[in-house]
């Protein structure tokens, strides 16, 4: 699929271009982070604030996103995740929860207008970044809030949602989930296929993260526009983990013009992490069972935290993120990879050297060390996603004008 390249995203001239020594590389990384559009497609802070309200305009002692750290990290735009737990489809609360979370994200820009502003187009992102504020976009993680009504796609588009992750941890009424072995639909449901077509028509990005392999391949058949994986990594490094994308899937995603936004959680990055995590979980669950507790009880959660403090699993490293980016770049080219951290959404498993939104300059430093040039880094950090977003809007215009 052909697409136009988004104009260069440098906001000013980088004074350190060309330097190669270790200290110079740091300076180059820091100044690059300041001037390029760093756009992260998956930050889960709304879900954290739903549990416990915090003032994210100020530096927080914990958590992975707040304004001061985002500025330090050079973050220009963040897709705030409107995350709906899989259980909410059955409870009938999904739609109301989505509305409440969208209101909450809107309140960030209203409460702190000098710091945040809402963005619903790539042009908004560039303007807001140029003003020194952080652009807040929205993606809906789980299609459950559509509640079987196709008109809800354009409703949520009008509310500012610019991508929908079709399913989350369980099969829902749109799609099967990679985490659910039920395989209710063997891919997408008939309604899910209509939703993909409607998202194409209104100009919303289809997010293939979390869905089953069958559902992914069906999205590739149905969608007229390129798709995104808002927060997924490469299965090459985590064999058997369906939540990540296989090489074959990445090839097809790229062939259709799409982009995989690499997720930073250690379990997504490092093959050794998940078996270790599952082994620890078994030990914890066996112990809790003797006390007639589960990991969901507050006493169970406290025990799990204490156990993991004493028996730490370890972490992947920022260089693992670079390895995933290199893998995609070697496979399909540097135009089809970006950043979808899952900050505040992946538990306590962010990699060493990339613990929160202040650390993007360190990632850029390691990308430079790995031999990526500044133009490539500009694409990886946000340019690719902006290109796909613009293409999705062009396809919508074509569909609406009957082409
Ligand atoms: Zn997720």
DSSP letters, 160-206, are TEEEEES--SS--SSB-BTT-TT-SSSSB-HHHHHHHHHHHHHT-EE
Dist. CA 243 → ligand 1 center (Å): 9
Dist. CA 99 → ligand 1 center (Å): 19
Kindly provide the b/e burial profile for residues 80-99, where b requires at least 16 CB atoms within 10 angstroms of the residue's own CB. Answer: bbbbbbbebbeeebbbebbe
Dist. CA 169 → ligand 1 center (Å): 8
Dist. CA 82 → ligand 1 center (Å): 11
Q: Count of residues for the chain?
A: 403
Q: What is the pLDDT of residue 348?
A: 84
* Residue in the block written with tokens 């914990």: 62
CA distances from 127 to 139, 190, 327, 364, 394 (A): 20, 39, 32, 23, 20
List, in order, residues 6 or more apart from 227 with CB less than 8 Å away: 205, 206, 207, 208, 219, 220, 253, 256, 258
DSSP 8-state secondary structure symbol assigned to residue 41: E
Cβ atoms 32, 7 nearer than 8 A: no
- For the chain, which residues score pLDDT lower than 50? 1-8, 10-13, 15, 19
Dist. CA 23 → ligand 1 center (Å): 36
Dist. CA 44 → ligand 1 center (Å): 9
Dist. CA 74 → ligand 1 center (Å): 23
Dist. CA 336 → ligand 1 center (Å): 20
Q: What is d(CA 327, CA 335) in angstroms, rounded to the nearest whole number?
A: 12
Dist. CA 172 → ligand 1 center (Å): 15
Dist. CA 17 → ligand 1 center (Å): 36
Dist. CA 210 → ligand 1 center (Å): 7
Dist. CA 81 → ligand 1 center (Å): 9
Dist. CA 231 → ligand 1 center (Å): 7
Dist. CA 199 → ligand 1 center (Å): 20
Residue among 174, 122, 80 at smallest CA distance from 392: 122
Dist. CA 342 → ligand 1 center (Å): 7
Q: What is d(CA 321, CA 266) in angstroms, rounded to the nearest whole number?
A: 9
Q: Is 148 exposed, middle or buried (0-12, 13-18, 19+ CB in 10 A)?
A: exposed
Q: What is d(CA 247, CA 328) in angstroms, rounded to the nearest whole number?
A: 8
Dist. CA 68 → ligand 1 center (Å): 25
Dist. CA 261 → ligand 1 center (Å): 12
Dist. CA 222 → ligand 1 center (Å): 23
Report the DSSP beta bridge partners of residue 241.
Answer: none
Q: What is the pTM of this model?
A: 0.93
Helix (H, G, I), strand (E, B) or coil at 366: helix
Dist. CA 196 → ligand 1 center (Å): 19
Residue among 136, 343, 137 at smallest CA distance from 231: 343
Residue among 28, 16, 1, 2 at smallest CA distance from 377: 28
Q: What is the pLDDT of residue 158?
A: 98
Dist. CA 133 → ligand 1 center (Å): 26
* Residue in the block written with tokens 């990540």: 244
CA distances from 244 to 150, 162, 261, 325, 377 (A): 28, 22, 11, 13, 22
Dist. CA 191 → ligand 1 center (Å): 22
Dist. CA 168 → ligand 1 center (Å): 7
Q: What is the pLDDT of residue 20?
A: 59
Dist. CA 347 → ligand 1 center (Å): 11
Q: What is the pLDDT of residue 8?
A: 42
Dist. CA 359 → ligand 1 center (Å): 21
For 78-87, write each residue's pLDDT tens digit. 999 999 999 9
Dist. CA 84 → ligand 1 center (Å): 10
Dist. CA 341 → ligand 1 center (Å): 10
Beta strands of 334-382 (E only): which ranges?
337-339
Cβ atoms 326, 370 nearer than 8 A: yes
């Amino acid at each position: 699929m052909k697409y136009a390249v988004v104009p260069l995203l440098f906001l000013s001239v980088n004074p350190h271009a060309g330097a190669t020594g270790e200290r110079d590389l740091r300076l180059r990384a820091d100044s690059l982070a300041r001037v390029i559009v760093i756009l992260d497609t998956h930050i889960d802070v709304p879900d954290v604030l739903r549990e416990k309200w915090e003032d994210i305009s100020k530096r927080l002692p914990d958590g992975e996103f707040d304004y001061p750290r985002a500025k330090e990290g050079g973050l220009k735009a963040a897709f705030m995740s409107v995350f709906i737990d899989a259980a909410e489809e059955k409870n009938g609360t999904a739609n109301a929860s989505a509305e409440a979370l969208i209101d909450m994200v809107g309140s960030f820009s209203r409460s702190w207008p000098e710091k945040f502003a809402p963005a619903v187009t790539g042009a908004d992102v560039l303007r807001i970044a140029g003003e020194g504020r952080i652009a807040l976009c929205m993606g809906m993680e789980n299609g459950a809030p559509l509640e079987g009504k196709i008109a809800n796609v354009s409703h949520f588009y009008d509310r500012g949602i610019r991508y929908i992750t079709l399913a989350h941890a369980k099969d829902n009424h749109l799609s099967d989930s990679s985490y659910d072995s039920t395989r209710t639909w063997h891919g997408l449901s008939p309604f899910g296929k209509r939703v993909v077509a409607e998202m194409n028509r209104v100009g919303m990005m289809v997010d293939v993260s979390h869905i089953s392999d069958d559902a992914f391949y069906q999205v590739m058949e149905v969608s007229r526009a390129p798709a995104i994986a808002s927060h997924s990594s490469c299965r090459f490094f985590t064999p058997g983990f369906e939540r990540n994308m296989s090489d074959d899937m990445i090839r097809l995603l790229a062939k259709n013009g799409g982009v995989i936004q690499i997720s930073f959680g250690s379990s997504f990055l490092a093959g050794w992490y998940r078996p270790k995590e599952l082994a620890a979980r078994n030990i914890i669950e066996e112990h809790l069972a003797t006390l007639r507790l589960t990991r969901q009880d507050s006493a169970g959660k406290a025990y799990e935290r204490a156990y993991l403090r004493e028996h730490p699993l370890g972490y992947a490293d920022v260089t693992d993120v670079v390895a995933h980016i290199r893998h995609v770049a070697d496979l399909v080219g540097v135009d089809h990879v970006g950043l979808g951290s899952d900050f505040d959404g992946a538990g306590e498993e962010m990699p060493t050297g990339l613990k929160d939104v202040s650390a993007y300059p360190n990632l850029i430093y390691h990308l430079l060390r790995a031999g990526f040039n500044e133009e490539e880094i500009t694409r990886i950090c946000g340019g690719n996603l902006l290109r796909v977003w613009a293409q999705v809007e062009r396809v919508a215009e074509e569909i609406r004008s009957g082409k």
